[in-house]
Amino acid sequence: MSVKSATAFGLSSGLEPGLVLLNTTNFNAVANQAVNSFSATYDAYKIVFTLTATSGDPTMTLRVRNGATDLSGADYYYGGFENRVDSATVGTNRGNAATAFGLSNLSSAQAARYFVILDIVNPTATTATKISYQGFVGSASGFYTFVSTGIVANSLSYDGYNILASTGTMTGKVVTYGYNL
C-alpha cells in the first residue's frame, strides 16, 4: 500500500494525516493470530479486533512481537477498570510484570459481542511501547466494558503483535491502521 503525501497540506512529516489501513486479517478457529504491520513509517497504530465465535471460555491477551517471536517475558504493565453494565460494581483489569496485556475473559456463548479497540504508540522506537485500549465483552455472568492503559517496560523495537486465546480457538477479524502523532 502506498503512503499518500501531505506536503500540499503543509505538514512537516510529509505523510497524509489520519488513519491509513495497513492490514485486514480474517481468521477462523485459531488459537492465536499474529500480525506484523509495524514499521518506522508510523508513530502509532490503531487496532480493531472483533470475534464471531470461540471454543471454550478463553482469556484474551495481546503480546508485541519482533519477526516471528512474541515478547513473553514479564515486561507488560497495565491497569484499568472493568464494569458490569447492569451493576454499579467496578472491578480492575491490571497486570504487574505480566507476560501479556489482558484483554478480558469471555464466554463462548457471547463471543459475537466481543470487541476491542487498541492504540499502540511507538512500538518501533527503542523506548517503552505505550498502549491504551477499551472494549466490550459478554461472559457467563453478564456484560462488561473495560478500559486499560499500559507499557511494555523495555527499550526494544517491535514490528507486530499477537492476539492469543488462553484456551480453545477463536474466529473473527483484526484490522490495523497506522497514523502519525
> What confidence tens digit (pLDDT) does each residue in 22-54 have?
999 999 999 999 999 999 999 999 999 999 999
Q: Domain count of the chain?
A: 1
pLDDT at residue 13 in the model: 55
Contacts of 179 (CB under 8 A, 6+ apart): 17, 18, 19, 20, 42, 43, 44, 45, 46
Top-confidence residue, 111 or 98: 98
Does residue 9 form part of some domain?
A: no
The answer to whether residue 12 scores a pLDDT higher than 50 is yes
pLDDT band at 6 (very low <50, low <70, confident <90, very high): very low
Asked whether residue 14 is domain-assigned, the answer is no
Interval 120-163: pLDDT, tens:
999 999 999 999 999 998 776 778 899 999 999 999 999 999 99
Please state the rounded mean pLDDT for residues 70-77. 97
CATH number of the domain where residue 74 is located = 2.60.120
Tell me whether residue 68 is in a domain: yes
Question: How many whole angstroms separate alpha carbon 145 and alpha carbon 30?
Answer: 25
pLDDT at 8: 43
Please enumerate in sequence order all residues whose Cβ is within 8 A of that of 44, keeping only pairs 6 or more positions apart, or say none.
119, 120, 121, 122, 178, 179, 180, 181
pLDDT number for residue 132: 98
Q: What tens digit of pLDDT does each residue of 169-181 get?
A: 999 999 999 999 9
| Overall pTM surpassing 0.75 (yes/no) | yes
Q: What range does the domain containing 61 cover?
A: 20-179
In a domain, 12, yes or no: no
